Chains A and B, each alone.
Chain A
Amino acid sequence: MLIQLIVAGIVTGAIYALVAVGLVVIYKASNVLNFAHGYISGIAAFVSLTLLTEHAWPVWGALPFSVGMSVALGLLTEALVVRPLRHERPLTVIIATLGVALILSGAISARWGPSAKLYPPFVNGSAFVVSGLAISMAQVVMVAVTVVVVGLVTAFFRFTRTGVALRAASENPTIAMLLGINLRVVSVCSWGLGGFLGGLSAVLVAPQVSLTPDAINGIMIQSFAAVVLAGFTNIPGAVAGGLITGIALNLFAGYVVSNMPNTFLLVLLLAVLMLRPHGLFGRSEGVRI
Chain B
Amino acid sequence: MNGHSMRFAYAALLAATLGSLCGVTNAQTAGKVIKLGTFAPETGANSGAYPIAQATSAFFKALNAAGGINGYTFDYVIMDDQYNPALTVSAVRKLVEQDEIFAIVDGVGTGPTLAVKPYLEAHKMPNIAPSTGAAAAAGPHTYLMEQDFTNEGAYQARYAAQQLTKNGKLAVLYQNDDVGKTYLKGVQYEAHQNSKIELTAIPFQLGTLDLTPAVSRAKQSGADVVIISATPQDFAPIIKAADALAYTPKWLSLNSAASSDILKQLPPTQTQNMYFSVWTALPGTPDVQEMNAALAKYYPSVRPSALTIQGWIPGTIFAEAFRRMTDGGKPPTREGLMAALDSFKGYSNSYIRNITYAPTPGIESPHLPRPHEAITKWGDGKLQLVTPFQEVPKVAGQPGQ
Bitwise, A216-229 to B at CB < 8 A (1) or not (0) is: 00110010000000
CA distance A250 to B210 in the complex (A): 8
Contact of A109 with B42 at beta-carbon distance under 8 Å, contacts A4-B245, A259-B205 already known: yes
Enumerate chain A residues within 8 angstroms of B209, measured Cβ to Cβ: 12, 15, 205, 208-209, 218-219, 222
Q: Is A38 an interface residue (CB 8 A)?
A: no
Bitwise, B119-157 to A at CB < 8 A (1) or not (0) is: 000000000000000000000000000000000000000
Are A249 and B217 neighbours in the complex by a CB distance under 8 Å?
no
Enumerate chain A residues within 8 angstroms of B210, measured Cβ to Cβ: 8-9, 11-12, 208, 246, 249-250
Enumerate chain B residues within 8 angstroms of A261, measured Cβ to Cβ: 205, 208
Q: Is A274 an interface residue (CB 8 A)?
A: no
Enumerate chain B residues within 8 angstroms of A215, measured Cβ to Cβ: 233
Nearest B-chain residue to A217, judged by Cβ: B45
- Say how far A267's CB is from chain B's closest CB, in angstroms: 14
Please choose the segment from B92-100, B261-269, B275-283, B327-335 that sits at the chain A interface, where 4 or more of its residues have CB less than 8 A away. Answer: B261-269
- Say how far B125's CB is from chain A's closest CB, in angstroms: 26
Q: Is B336 an interface residue (CB 8 A)?
A: no
Nearest A-chain residue to B205, judged by Cβ: A259
Enumerate chain A residues within 8 angstroms of B303, measured Cβ to Cβ: 115
Are A127 and B302 neighbours in the complex by a CB distance under 8 Å?
no
Bitwise, B199-241 to A at CB < 8 A (1) or not (0) is: 0001111011110111011001000000000001111110010
Query: Which of A134, A205, A212, A261 has the most chain B CB within a 10 Å cutoff?
Result: A212
CA distance A251 to B216 in the complex (A): 11
Nearest A-chain residue to B45, judged by Cβ: A214
- List CB contacts (< 8 Å) of B33-92 with chain A: 41-45, 47-48, 50-51
Enumerate chain A residues within 8 angstroms of B220, measured Cβ to Cβ: 1
**Which one of B47, B203, B216, B235 lies within 8 Å of A1 (CB-CB)?**
B216
- List CB contacts (< 8 Å) of A1-53 with chain B: 1, 4-5, 8-9, 11-12, 15
Q: Is A106 an interface residue (CB 8 A)?
A: yes
Enumerate chain A residues within 8 angstroms of B208, measured Cβ to Cβ: 253, 261
Nearest B-chain residue to A120, judged by Cβ: B265
Number of interface residues of A (CB under 8 A): 51
Q: Is B285 an interface residue (CB 8 A)?
A: no
Enumerate chain B residues within 8 angstroms of A139, measured Cβ to Cβ: 244
Are A105 and B50 neighbours in the complex by a CB distance under 8 Å?
no
Query: Which of A11, A134, A135, A222 has the most chain B CB within a 10 Å cutoff?
Result: A134
Query: Which of B213, B262, B265 has the most chain A CB within a 10 Å cutoff?
Result: B213
Are B262 and A114 neighbours in the complex by a CB distance under 8 Å?
no
Are B213 and A250 neighbours in the complex by a CB distance under 8 Å?
yes
- Say how far B212's CB is from chain A's closest CB, in angstroms: 4
- Say how far A13's CB is from chain B's closest CB, in angstroms: 9
Q: Is A136 an interface residue (CB 8 A)?
A: yes
Are A114 and B246 neighbours in the complex by a CB distance under 8 Å?
no
Are A114 and B48 neighbours in the complex by a CB distance under 8 Å?
yes
**Which one of A126, A134, A222, A257 lies within 8 Å of B269 (CB-CB)?**
A126
Q: Is B360 an interface residue (CB 8 A)?
A: no
Q: Is B384 an interface residue (CB 8 A)?
A: no
Are A118 and B262 neighbours in the complex by a CB distance under 8 Å?
yes
**Which one of B45, B47, B203, B236 lies within 8 Å of A258 (CB-CB)?**
B203
CA distance A210 to B374 in the complex (A): 27
CA distance A253 to B217 in the complex (A): 10
Enumerate chain A residues within 8 angstroms of B213, measured Cβ to Cβ: 5, 8, 250-251, 253-254, 258
- Say how far A218's CB is from chain B's closest CB, in angstroms: 5
Are A5 and B216 neighbours in the complex by a CB distance under 8 Å?
yes
Enumerate chain B residues within 8 angstroms of A4, measured Cβ to Cβ: 212, 216, 245
Contact of A136 with B41 at beta-carbon distance under 8 Å, contacts A1-B216, A114-B50 already known: no
Are A126 and B236 neighbours in the complex by a CB distance under 8 Å?
no
Q: Is B301 an interface residue (CB 8 A)?
A: yes
Are A210 and B48 neighbours in the complex by a CB distance under 8 Å?
yes
CA distance A207 to B47 in the complex (A): 18
- Say how far A106's CB is from chain B's closest CB, in angstroms: 7
B residues near A, CB below 8 A? Answer: 41-45, 47-48, 50-51, 176, 202-205, 207-210, 212-214, 216-217, 220, 232-237, 240, 243-247, 261-262, 265-267, 269, 301-303
15 contacts between A and B (CB under 8 A): A1-B216, A8-B213, A114-B41, A116-B47, A117-B261, A126-B246, A129-B246, A134-B245, A135-B244, A136-B244, A139-B244, A213-B43, A250-B212, A258-B213, A260-B205
Given contacts A208-B240, A254-B212, 15 further A-B pairs with CB under 8 A are A1-B216, A8-B216, A109-B43, A115-B50, A118-B262, A127-B245, A134-B244, A134-B245, A209-B209, A210-B233, A214-B44, A222-B209, A251-B213, A253-B204, A258-B203
